[in-house]
Chain A
Amino acid sequence: MKRPGWFVYASLAVVLGAALFPFYWSMLIGSGDASTIRDPNMSWWPGGNFLANAASVINDPAVNFWRALWNSVYSSALIAASVVFFSTLAGWAFAKLRFRGSKWLLVFVVATMAVPTQLGVVPLYILFAELGWTGNIGAIIIPALTSAFGVFWMTQYLQQAVPDELIEAARVDGASSFRTFLTVALPAARPAAAMLGLFTFVSAWNNFFWPFIVLDRGDPTLPVALSLLQSNYFVDYSIVLAGVLLSTIPLLILFAFAGKQLVSGIMAGAVKG
């Protein structure tokens, strides 16, 4: 196939520029001081204040940066691991095991995807308040431990990834159902599991609405901490944007290593969806 002309590359470069510019902009502002934003002759080179601004973010007791970072890391990792495991388990059952009502149960799972989060937040809040869990990071982990999308995604994948002969062979060898799952399904599910894990991690990391409602200001996740940062420093955007950069760097690192997987995951999901 013919290679396209310069026009295509030029347009793609513009798109890429637009995608990256906000990061550069937050670096420009985040490395200046409070007056940078008001400076009409603002330099297009980063200033030298980033570390000082970052220190303001990290040392601010109201923001709880380390606490927020740790909360984000471990809650997202836990949610991703749990969603991958339970989705593979359920996806395996829906894709390869025969049981009464499986078709309708799967339809039900898919239907739950359309239900907006807002519909349940009031009672969910009451429930966690009743348990004394408001302000506790567990309140954002527990409801996220499984996912309808994950079950659907794994069902789709395992349907074609595992030949029925393999399951029969395992059964003839006398493997129990769960052992078959461990030895046949889990290894076969690995590529889809990696993508599901990545997606779940990213969306758990970025989630805001429910954590903002239920988490305590003293024990936030990063997005909640950012929202506190803004109300504390709204006059000094250099500190706010330094905080934005700080909270985004972990995901950019993840993206540098796993971006290729994420891209192919989106592309693969679309063909089936």
Chain B
Amino acid sequence: MTATETDAPIRTGTPGPGRAGPPPRGIRRIAFSHRLSRWDLKLSPYLYISPFFILFIVTGLFPIAYTAVISFMDWDLVRGTGTFIGFDQYAYVLGQPKFWVALRNTFSIFLLSSVPQLVLAIFIAAMLDQNIRAKTFWRMGVLVPYVMAPVAVALIFSNMFGDQYGLVNSVLNDLGFASVPWHSDAFASHIAIATMVNFRWTGYNTLILLAAMQAIPRDYYEAAAIDGAGRLRQFFAITVPSLRPTLIFVIITSTIGGLQIFDEPRMYDQFGTGGADSQWLTITLYLYDIGWGQWNFGRAAALAWILFLIILAIGVINLLVTRRLVRNEGSNR
């Protein structure tokens, strides 16, 4: 990259003893490479980080800002420009009953997927945290679903949750229960979709929590055992409190992901519109429909900003709660 493959002592800049009395050309050569290397040191860090920033500005920052502009416009797809209309698009989106249904569905699916998932992940991690045989085998086993595409998971599960011939309903019937209308009842569809999310992410979160568990000093447990605490007591008195920071990390990441859910509800039936009565329409699915179903980019952009503000608000709430919890933790962390 740069011509500094001379023996010039770059760091000190002063010629070493072996270089005493060089001809004038030699001095100039050293000075030149010295200056070059100083520039090299100063500039190259910026050069190294520039690919990320350039690409982010073009494909991230510019689109975000432009989304804001478009959201204030009545966008004309043919001409590729819009007319400024202020907050009308926001008012329109917020005035749609569908938006509120989508918001409700998104939160319902999010809660149904994150809460059971975390509880399950903690318990599985606690089991993997013991001195079991074939550790790697079990760890790899729980992670298998993670490599599967959400689209593929959705296709398998929407089959298993079939209303008439689905596996889940036939098992329910065999056990003497009535069939559940998985594709017509809103809450039932949320459970089915949340199951897909749980299937794919429980193992991943298990491993993150397992890593945090392994960082807990083992003498805590020994001390507790000497004090007469049983396994269950140890779990709730030592393991769970020590996991708090990691739990918060997992909660925040799953919140951001959960509020954007698209793949699973899109593939839950063959129409991909979120159900005849919007039973499982989510915000992102609604965004897709407005943008690329109705081809109304102004409204889609407004909805995108509304979604972002919701995520931001929840992020801030998360952060405040996190601060409190971590402070309560005191010296433990």
**Dominant secondary structure of chain B at its interface with chain A:** helix
- Nearest-CB distance from B225 to chain A (Å)? 10
- Nearest-CB distance from B104 to chain A (Å)? 18
Is B1 positioned at the interface, with any CB of A under 8 Å from its CB?
Answer: yes
**Is B41's CB under 8 angstroms from A177's CB?**
yes
Interface string of B212-251 (1 = CB under 8 A from A): 1011001000000000000000000000000000100100
* Cα–Cα distance between A116 and B246 once the two chains are bound (Å): 22
* Contacts known (A90-B51, A99-B45, A271-B215); A115 close to B64, Cβ less than 8 A: yes
* Contacts known (A118-B260, A263-B139); A8 close to B49, Cβ less than 8 A: no
**Is B80's CB under 8 angstroms from A176's CB?**
no
**Is B132's CB under 8 angstroms from A177's CB?**
no
Interface string of B291-331 (1 = CB under 8 A from A): 11000010011001101100100010000000000000000
* Cα–Cα distance between A1 and B221 once the two chains are bound (Å): 11
- Of the stretches A48-56, A188-196, A254-262, the one at the interface is A254-262
**Is A122's CB under 8 angstroms from B291's CB?**
yes
Q: Which residues of A lie under 8 Å from residue B64 when comparing CB positions? A: 115, 119-120
Is B211 positioned at the interface, with any CB of A under 8 Å from its CB?
Answer: yes
**Is A120's CB under 8 angstroms from B63's CB?**
yes
- Residue in A126, A234, A255 whose Cβ sees the most chain B Cβ within 10 Å: A126
Interface string of B253-277 (1 = CB under 8 A from A): 0001001101100110010100000
**Is A25's CB under 8 angstroms from B40's CB?**
no
* Cα–Cα distance between A117 and B256 once the two chains are bound (Å): 11
Is A4 positioned at the interface, with any CB of B under 8 Å from its CB?
Answer: yes
**Is B4's CB under 8 angstroms from A223's CB?**
no
Which B34-93 residues have C-beta < 8 A from chain A?
A: 37, 40-42, 44-46, 48-49, 51-53, 55-56, 59-60, 62-64, 66-67, 70, 80
By size class, the interface of chain A is: 35 or more
Interface string of A54-77 (1 = CB under 8 A from B): 000000000000000000000000
Is B208 positioned at the interface, with any CB of A under 8 Å from its CB?
Answer: yes
Q: Which residues of A lie under 8 Å from residue B130 when comparing CB positions? A: 1, 4, 8
**Is B304's CB under 8 angstroms from A254's CB?**
no
- Nearest-CB distance from B305 to chain A (Å)? 7
Is A157 positioned at the interface, with any CB of B under 8 Å from its CB?
Answer: no
* Contacts known (A230-B267, A237-B159, A270-B246); A172 close to B10, Cβ less than 8 A: yes
- Nearest-CB distance from B13 to chain A (Å)? 12
Q: Which residues of B lie under 8 Å from residue A251 when comparing CB positions? A: 147-149
Is A19 positioned at the interface, with any CB of B under 8 Å from its CB?
Answer: yes
Q: A11-B127, A22-B156, A206-B149 are in contact. List 16 more A-B contacts (CB 8 A).
A: A3-B132, A37-B165, A86-B52, A118-B260, A123-B67, A125-B291, A172-B11, A174-B7, A176-B2, A179-B1, A202-B146, A208-B266, A237-B159, A259-B143, A267-B211, A267-B214
Q: Which 8 A-B pairs have the closest CB atoms?
A: A120-B63, A234-B270, A123-B66, A270-B211, A143-B59, A270-B208, A93-B48, A178-B1
Residue pairs across A and B with Cβ atoms less than 8 A apart, 14 shown, are: A2-B131, A19-B144, A90-B52, A105-B53, A122-B67, A122-B300, A143-B60, A176-B40, A177-B40, A178-B1, A213-B292, A230-B155, A255-B143, A271-B211
